[in-house]
């Protein structure tokens, strides 16, 4: 069982898995703003293997075209954003990498939106990176070991 949670410990999550999932980094402006840092890092896992507990606060953010809704889960006490789901990606949960208890053991499988990355950050050439979003979602999901879903 893999576990994690928010900064104050009120919100916790458990992932039914033997090993840590792969993660990816997004360097887009939204991710910089939302993480309050240089980039966001997260893992995509199967929702039926994930369980969150505690007083979860939810923030719903529609996409600009109104076709998708991002459901952001955060701790209402310490305001750590811990995981999210998206109406366009049913069955998957996106876990914020920093919320893993063993975040120091995570590995990174891909970078996206490197056109917007902070200039001091040097990326390992062996790690796949795209200037903007990944051109093919199925290849991206396979690369980061995300659960394969229909559609
Ligand atoms: Zn908290
Ligand atoms: Zn982003």
pLDDT tens for residues 103-149? 999 999 999 999 999 999 999 999 999 999 999 988 999 999 998 77
Q: Is residue 68 part of a domain?
A: yes
Quote the percentage of the chain above a pLDDT of 90.
95
Nearest ligand for residue 7 CA: 1
Q: Is residue 42 part of a domain?
A: yes
Q: Is residue 9 part of a domain?
A: yes
Q: In the predicted model, what is the mean pLDDT of residues 68-97?
A: 97
The rounded Å distance from CA 87 to ligand 2 centre is 17
Judge whether 112 and 29 are in contact, CB under 8 Å: no
pLDDT at 40 (0 to 100): 98
Nearest ligand for residue 80 CA: 1
Q: Is residue 102 part of a domain?
A: yes
Q: Is residue 110 part of a domain?
A: yes
Per-residue pLDDT reduced to its tens digit, 28-74: 999 999 999 999 999 999 999 999 999 999 999 999 999 999 999 99
Q: How many domains does the chain have?
A: 1
Strand order in the sheet with 92-96: 57-62, 69-74, 81-86, 92-96, 40-46, 23-26, 108-112
Give every CB contact of residue 30 below 8 A, 6+ residues apart in sequence.
none
Q: Is residue 112 part of a domain?
A: yes
pLDDT at 148 (0 to 100): 78
Average pLDDT, the chain: 95
Q: Which domain holds residue 118?
A: 2-143
Nearest ligand for residue 40 CA: 2
Quote the percentage of the chain above a pLDDT of 70.
99
CATH number of 131's domain: 3.90.1590.10
Q: Is residue 115 part of a domain?
A: yes
Ion ligand 1: residues, CB within 5 A, are: 6, 8, 10, 75, 77-78
Q: Which two tokens stand for residue 146?
A: 């995300």
Q: Is residue 32 part of a domain?
A: yes
């Amino acid at each position: 069982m893999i576990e994690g949670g928010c900064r104050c410990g009120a919100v916790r999550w458990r992932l039914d898995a033997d090993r840590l999932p792969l993660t990816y980094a997004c360097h887009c402006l939204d991710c910089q703003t939302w993480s309050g840092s240089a980039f966001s890092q997260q893992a995509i896992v199967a929702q039926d293997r994930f369980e969150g507990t505690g007083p979860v606060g939810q923030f719903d953010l529609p996409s600009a075209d109104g076709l998708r809704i991002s459901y952001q889960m955060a701790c209402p006490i310490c305001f750590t954003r811990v995981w999210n789901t998206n109406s366009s990606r049913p069955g998957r949960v996106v876990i914020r990498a920093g919320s893993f208890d063993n975040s120091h053991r995570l590995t990174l499988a891909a970078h996206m939106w490197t056109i917007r990355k902070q200039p001091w950050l040097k990326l390992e050439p062996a790690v796949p990176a795209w200037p903007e979003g990944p051109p093919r979602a199925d290849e991206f999901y396979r690369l980061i070991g995300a659960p394969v879903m229909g559609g």
